[in-house]
Amino acid sequence: MSRLDESLVNRLPPFSRLKRSEIREILDLAGTQRLDVGETVFHEGQEADRFFLLLDGYIRVVRVTAEGEHVTLLHFGPGQLFGFAKALGRTTYPATAVAASESLALHWPMRLWPVFAERHDGFATETYATIGRRMGEMNDNTVAMATQQVEQRVAHAVLRLVNQTGRKTPEGIEIGFPVTRQDLSEMTGTTLHTVSRMLSAWEKDGIVESRRKHVTVRDPHRLVLVAEAIGRR
């Protein structure tokens, strides 16, 4: 990949407070990694030798339970740091990161994270802000698993993806990366059969459209009513 220009990243939170010369210094130390859909960036338990900044695309964060089941913890998009295990006091990655779409990331050796965090305020503040946001999202998901009915959980998961990555189309608001019914089942702790049944029912009601790994919400208001269990049997 050609030399990345500072102007392409200077508005991203880790760089927004830095001088152009500082950004250049950091970029010159970075490697680049292009990722195909479904390609693993790193595995849970793998030695954490690098940390990353996502420039384009979407990443899915997954953990495997003791029973061998895959649970999707969260998704995130461009401009976010990830894989910074050292900030969590770990030497291994706590979860698996998978490209949910074609993606492009910068990466640096993990030994540079404390150096960047000490020298460049943006790296430290954005890292801890990111940790806070993701912990909050995972806590919300845990509460949802414990307190919501399955239909509510699936509706909330679809709405969350739409809010994070949605793009307007003539048919409605489409989730911005390929998402399968299996993906939704792993996000919501339910079975593939249950998710398929719900999406089929919502399609008949004109609430969503699900085709070839692409989910479009045709009637967001009605899906919110489902998520909040308003007017449902």
Q: What is the pTM of this model?
A: 0.81
Q: Examine the domain organization and report whether 122 and 180 are in the same domain.
A: no
Identify whether 92 is part of a domain. Answer: yes
Distance CA 26, CA 116 (A): 8
Q: Examine the domain organization and report whether 152 and 129 are in the same domain.
A: no
pLDDT in tens, 191-206: 999 999 999 999 999 9
Q: Examine the domain organization and report whether 122 and 54 are in the same domain.
A: yes
Q: Examine the domain organization and report whether 82 and 120 are in the same domain.
A: yes
Q: Examine the domain organization and report whether 112 and 222 are in the same domain.
A: no
pLDDT band at 109 (very low <50, low <70, confident <90, very high): very high
> The domain that contains 159 carries what CATH number?
1.10.10.10
Instruction: Give the pairing of strands 167-169 and 103-109.
Output: unpaired
CB under 8 Å to 52, separation ≥6 — which residues?
33, 41, 81, 82, 83, 97, 105, 106, 107
Q: Where are the beta strands (DSSP E) in 67-207?
A: 70-76, 81-82, 96-99, 103-109, 167-169, 172-174
pLDDT in tens, 62-81: 988 877 788 888 888 898 88
